[in-house]
Amino acid sequence: MDKIGKLSTITFELFGQVITLNSTMILMTYIVIAFLAISAYLATRKLKQIPSTGQNMFEIIYEFIEEITLGTLGNKDGKSFVPFIFTIFVFVLAANWIGILPHITNFFGFIIAIIHQLFTGEAGQWVVDGITKTTFIPSQNTFYYFLFKFPEFQEPTRSINTDLALGILVFIIVHVNSIKKHGLLEYFRSYMGDIVPSKGWWILLFPINPFFYLNVISEVSSVVSHSFRLFGNIFGGFMILVIVSSLVKHFLIPVGLLAFFGIFAGIVQAFVFTMLAVTYIGQKN
């Protein structure tokens, strides 16, 4: 609990401006990227007609995302977006899940320690201070001691900077595609509204067109809502897990919360973020 709010930062000066970076989140982001790159390589290096377990898993996820994307954008326009949407989904999913690894290793270490303690009595020391404050201190001589010392991983999506970066990335892709498909002038006209004339020289009157500013604000707010929805759910789930786990240690309640907020909520939030990206593309396509 006393570590909540503390950040590992790197501060440096660039062009006279002091820049502060969250080193932990940067490291976690690159760990997720490296994990996905290695997983993709291992799953696709030897593609077979009868897929292996890794290849089959990737194919199931890819086909699921492909079906959603093509169903929303159509076969013609959707095919070019499937790789991008798939990448967004697996990255957000992995970023949501990476934070549960220390909890999983601690849980399995605790289960092994209980079995070890029952048979030998040398697994470690129990410190009992009430039902909700029962703590186990593992012996350093056990072969599974490393499970209790697994480094603390933090979800990159717990940082608003990561979520805003993802939202801005989707925003850029959407609007670049819209300009490419409809042309710059037609894209600009879409901000004028149907009530105010925007044909010919009338388009030059956009500074006094209230719909222009309302549409610009709407586009900016969509990026903010897209990002903050992911941030709020991931950070909120983390806070609930930390608070309850600090009150009830080594019991089933934290494990149940881990299963819900870590695994289930991680999938749901990755799916929601991806679906919003697909819907956003469809609206501007």
| Token code pair at residue 91 | 């990255």
- pLDDT of 212 above 90: no
Q: What is the 3-state secondary structure (H, E, C) of the chain?
A: CCCCCCCCEEEEEECCEEEEEEHHHHHHHHHHHHHHHHHHHHHHCCCCCCCCHHHHHHHHHHHHHHHHHHHHHHHHHHCCCHHHHHHHHHHHHHHHHHHHHHHHHHHHHHHHHHHHHHHCCCCEEEECCCHHHCEEEECCCCCCHHHHHCCCCCCHHHCHHHHHHHHHHHHHHHHHHHHHHHCHHHHHHCCCCCCCCCCHHHHHHHHHCHHHHHHHHHHHHHHHHHHHHHHHHHHHHHHHHHHHHHHCCCCHHHHHHHHHHHHHHHHHHHHHHHHHHHHHHHHHC
List, for residues 120-141, the tens digit of each pLDDT value. Answer: 767 777 666 655 555 667 777 7
Please tell me the predicted confidence (pLDDT) of residue 89: 93
List, for residues 103-119, the tens digit of each pLDDT value. Answer: 777 777 777 877 877 77
Please tell me the predicted confidence (pLDDT) of residue 132: 52
Mean pLDDT of the chain: 77
Q: Which of 6-15, 17-26, 167-176, 271-280 has the lowest mean pLDDT?
A: 6-15
pTM above 0.85, yes or no: no
Task: Measure the CA angle with vertex 234, ends 231 and 35; round to 5°.
Answer: 100
List, for residues 21-30, the tens digit of each pLDDT value. Answer: 777 788 888 9
Average pLDDT over residues 174-187: 83
- pLDDT of 268 above 50: yes
- pLDDT of 165 above 80: yes
Domain positions in the chain: 48-284
